[in-house]
Each structure stands twice: as C-alpha cells, then as structure tokens.
Amino acid sequence: MLKKRIIPCLDVDRGRVVKGVNFVDLIDAGDPVEQAKIYNSEGADELCFLDITASSDERETLFEVVKKTAENCFIPLTVGGGVRTIDDISRLLHHGADKVSINTAAVENIDLVAKAAKKYGSSTIVIAVDAKKNGDKSWNIFTHGGRKPTDIDALEYCIEVANLGAGEILLTSMDRDGTKIGFDNELLSNVSSSIDIPVIASGGVGNLEHFAEGVLEGGASALLAASIFHFGEYSIKDVKTYLAEQNIAVRI
Amino acid sequence: MKLVIINYGSGNLHSVHKAFEAVNNNLENPYEIIVTNTPFEILNADKLVLPGVGAFQDCKNAIHKIDGLFESLEQVVIGEKKAFMGICVGMQLLAEKSLEFGECEGFGWIPGEVIKIEAPADYKIPHMGWNEVTFRNHELLNNISQNTDFYFVHSYYFRTQKNENCIATTKYPNPITAAVLKENIFGTQFHPEKSHNNGKQIITNFLEWEPS
C-alpha cells in the first residue's frame, strides 16, 4: 500500500534554518545540512527546503546547501522559494533537488507551470499555494511569501495548475501557519477531492492527532511540518508510530 | 572496471551519480564511475546506468539527439551483453513502445509496452511515494526483505509481455511492474537513488552482479 509521507520542512535564510511564526518572528534553528541528515536517518520520507533569502545576490548559498544535502541524503528533496524561471528550476535540479516548488511565479505567469512540467516532467513540479479563508468554503491565495493578497480562488487555482501538469500541490493554510491548532482540513479536503494529483498538507500542525486528522479529514497524501520537528517536540518516529496505531499506512 | 552513467540531460542524473558514488566508495574493488554521453566512453564501459525522469518521448528524443549515443548503447548492451540498469523512464525506454502523449517507439529490448496506470478514482495519479515491493528471488534483490518500501514517482508503467521479464511488482491497488529483467538488462520503476538504505542495497547488488 502507498504510504502517507511525513515531510520535515526547513525554512532557509542565507544558508541557515529558520521558522517563521505566522510568517514573521524568525528564530534560528541550525544548519540545514546537519538537520537534513538527522531527518534522513530518523526516517523522514522526503525533505523540503523553502528558501526565504530576500536578496538575490545571496541566493547562491542555497545551491551549496542543496548540493551538500543531496550528497548526504538519499531521499527525495523538494526545494522552493524564489523560483521564477525555467533556468531557476534547472539550476536547482542540477544541484540535486528532485522536485522544485513554485509559488508566486506560477500565479503571475501560469504558462510557467505547463512549460516546466513539459520540460522536467510533472513529478518534478510542485505548486505551492498559500491560502487564506475569506468566507464559507472559500479561500483566496496569497503570493510573495504570504504578504500579497489576490482575488484568486484557491480551489479553482489548484484545479487549473493540476490540469496544466503540476505533479503535486503543497497547500499551506495562512490562517493556521504557526498556530499549532491543526491543519485546515476543510481546505485540504476541498482541494484534495477536486484534483487527481497528491496534496501535501501544511500549516498548523501542533500535535500527533493533527497529523492523523490531515489524512483522515483532510485527505492529504503527505504531511509537512517544520517547528514541531526542529525544536524536538516530536520526532519523525513519534509521528509514524502514532499514525501506524491509527491504521494509517506509513513507512516504518 | 568502468561504470558509465549516461548523461543526456536527465533531471535525476546528479542524484543517481551521488548515490552510486556513495555505494561504490564502500566496495572492496570500487568502479571508476564516468558520467558521459560520448560513444567512445560507452563502448569501453563494463556496466551502464540509464537514468530518466520526465516524459518518455522527451527522454527518447534527448538520447537520439546525441550522435552515436543509442548505437553505442545498443552495441554494448545487446551485442556485448554488458550489465545494464535503467531507472524510472530509463527503464520504461526498454519497452517496444509507450502510449504516453500518443504512441512512441522505445528501444524494444524487452517485449511489452508502457501504459497509463489504471486505478480507482480515489487513487492519486502520479503514483508518488513509498510503496511495498514484492519480488522473485534473484541476486539483484539480495538482502532486501519482501514488502519493503521503495520510492516511486510515475503515471505510466511498463506492462511486460512476458511474466518472466517482470521480477518485482507493487500494488496501486492493481499490480504495477516495479522491476524488469532480461538476461543482462535490469530496470527499476522505483528510484533506488531516493529509496534510502533499500535503494543503496539495490545499487550494491547491481554493482556486484555478474550476469551469466
């Protein structure tokens, strides 16, 4: 049976790991390559790096981090943040990323999704969506790391990028991110039941039950978390053991 | 001994190279690993690895765009029976044809065709993630337990014409070919380079394999 994936996410700023609470207040939590090695040995199913380096001339640090991680961790690595062009995707893949996640650039230029999927294969292209609730069963997407609102409907957007060849949706709830009150399972289940491609749940996980709810209520194929792992509240093994007890298939 | 990893611009080349390097460094008699697309190097290889991600037709076109690449591959693999391993689309290319984006001819080294995964509506496509693999006993699968998880990412799969060429399967929920074998030609649908310790074991087995 296909396993539900547990994906630790590292926010990387100028080569260092940070995690924002509600996208502000950054706290340093270590060296990304060392962290990645720990997660790799603990049984993470994939790794995710989100580069939040603001200045483009400091983005080179990311390529080194990706390269070193790929040389040490033999599990899939998704890298996102600041990916704007086919050339950006190509460079990340060349340095050892397995999948590249695109956020703002896909919203501003939807053609990029189809072009990237055609050139590198759907399975390489993850579309990251930051969504915020704006009414009953309705969410709008935000761009620029959650700073810029749009009037684009999240569900319609996910359906569109799936049709254009995206391989996966990384769906972050802006309302839940950093709150530790659980994933927005209503958002997740609405998106996941409307598209054929896998959905990765992100934003809000605070305890073991939340992981299970993301699968059982949200219908997520994979569960992403950051601070809950970094600060040692729970290990990957704790999460997998708990999910297995709930009869959710995981790789032990 | 030379191990050649074919470079035709495939997205997983770096990962495949690094995984083979990591395993190779632990061997008593390590290979010289060469990443190349020149026919001269390919003709001198003792073992060959063909990575591949993306669309079948794009991979095939990229190979044929490089002068003499396919011909030299055919000579060492079919003519001289050197050990060969295809990964993901590199494995699917061994088929006679693929039905992805219309019909496209493959290498035709193993009878069968590449077709879309058929699964119930609540099964996500691509088949992406870790899934259990069952297999027939073979030295390429030494030191691997039955129903061990490997990492898959694909929407199409290789339906071999003969059962004997399918040596491993996974379920989604219908059986899907996970590995193929014909004489000196081996291929995996899953990504050993991304399958952690189990993947490293498959690579070790391939490096130690001497097809009869």
B80 band by pLDDT with thresholds 50, 70 and 90: very high
Which percentage of chain A shows pLDDT scores above 90?
69
CB contact under 8 A, B53 and A121: yes
**How many CB atoms are closer than 10 A to CB A96?**
24
pLDDT single digits (tens) A61-115 = 899 999 999 998 999 999 999 999 999 999 998 888 999 999 999 999 999 999 9
Nearest to A228 by CA among A245, A218, A248, A214: A214
Using the predicted structure, report yes or no on whether residue B11 has a pLDDT greater than 80: no
B101: nearest CA in chain A? A118
Using the predicted structure, report yes or no on whether residue A19 has a pLDDT greater than 90: no
Whether the CB-CB separation of A10 and A17 falls below 8 Å is answered with yes
More confident of the two residues A225 and B53: A225
A219: nearest CA in chain B? B122
Q: According to the model, what pLDDT value does residue A21 have?
A: 41
A29 band by pLDDT with thresholds 50, 70 and 90: low
More confident of the two residues B168 and A90: B168
Question: What is the predicted ipTM?
Answer: 0.90
CB contact under 8 A, B54 and A5: no
More confident of the two residues B102 and B132: B132
Greatest mean pLDDT among A31-35, A58-62, A118-122, B139-143: B139-143
**What's the mean pLDDT in B123-131?**
95
Find the catalytic residue in B17, B28, B191, B210: B191
State how far the Cα of A107 lies from the Cα of B107, in Å rounded to an integer: 39
More confident of the two residues A22 and A62: A62
Using the predicted structure, report yes or no on whether residue A12 has a pLDDT greater than 60: yes
Using the predicted structure, report yes or no on whether residue B148 has a pLDDT greater than 80: yes
Instruction: Tell whether A248 is within 8 A of chain B (Cβ).
Output: no
Contacting residues for A237 by C-beta, under 8 A, at least 6 apart? A42, A43
β-pair type (A199-202, B97-98)? unpaired
For an interface test with B, give the residue of A7, A68, A74 to mutate (most B CBs within 10 A). A74
Q: pTM higher than 0.90 for the full model?
A: yes
Using the predicted structure, report yes or no on whether residue A190 has a pLDDT greater than 90: yes
A31 band by pLDDT with thresholds 50, 70 and 90: confident
Residue with tokens 């080194």: A64
Angle between helical axes of A111-120 and A86-94 (0-180°, round to 10): 30
Q: According to the model, what pLDDT value does residue B205 have?
A: 98
A24 band by pLDDT with thresholds 50, 70 and 90: very low
Using the predicted structure, report yes or no on whether residue A137 has a pLDDT greater than 50: yes
